[in-house]
Amino acid sequence: MPFTAVKLKPVSSAKQIKSADDAYSFMMHMRLSYLNKPHWQAAKQAISFAAASEDCETRAWRTFRAAANAEGWLLN
């Protein structure tokens, strides 16, 4: 499974995203003002296709990490 754990800063209201399902759930509880940003819209679309193949899951992981990084929430 290519979706490896993503650690987020506490300001994001999540500690760790372990799967595409976790990422989807996290985004569905996100404020609309965040979710309407282009990087989160791209992440939502990529995650909705994550189950289609391993490549899609890898793309979803990369897109989610990029969106979290754009917000400054990614814990390095």
Tokens of 31: 């404020």
Q: Looking at residue 35, what DSSP letter applies?
A: H
CA dihedral over 45, 47, 48, 54, signed as positive or negative? positive
pLDDT at 1: 54
Q: Each residue of 21-66: pLDDT tens digit?
A: 999 999 999 999 999 999 999 999 999 999 999 999 999 999 999 9
**Average pLDDT score over residue span 1-23:** 86
b/e per residue, 1-39, with b = 16+ CB within 10 A?
eebeebebeeebebeebebbebbbebbeebeeeeeeeeb
